[in-house]
Amino acid sequence: MFDGHNGAEAAVYGAAQLHQAFIQNMKKISDPREAIVESFLAVDRMFCEKAKTEQIRSGSTVVTAVIRGKMLYVAWLGDSRAVLYHNNKINDLVNPHKPEREVRPMP
């Protein structure tokens, strides 16, 4: 899920590129967590170059989920929210980035 800020360009670019970067990274990196991080970084670098060349000033938040076997990997940037509804209970999957948020990793 991508949520554009100051225009849709970054969200559209991320939606078109992130899954491709992840597939390429999974061919080189066996750990999905590392592959997700590397994919986020690669797409960010590519979009920043494009934005500089084309003078684009948009950004995007993102939430992504990958299921591998019985594991669910969730990653996010920005203030988007993701929840999992299971057994009549809503479970937060992310800790959105907000200025007032205390910095601490999710379990």
Check residue 80 and give its pLDDT. Answer: 83
Which pTM value belongs to this model? 0.80
Look at 106 and 15; give whichever has higher pLDDT. Answer: 15
Structural domain spans, the chain: 2-77
Mean pLDDT of 6-13: 88
107: confidence class by pLDDT, cuts 50, 70, 90: low
Q: What is the pLDDT of residues 53-88, one digit of tens each?
A: 999 888 888 899 999 999 999 998 888 888 999 999
- Each as own residue / partner, the long-range contacts of residues 56-60 (CB below 8 Å, 24 or more positions apart, any chain) are 56/7, 56/9, 56/10, 57/6, 57/7, 58/4, 58/5, 58/6, 58/7, 58/8, 58/9, 58/10, 58/11, 59/4, 59/5, 59/6, 59/10, 60/2, 60/3, 60/4, 60/5, 60/10, 60/11, 60/14
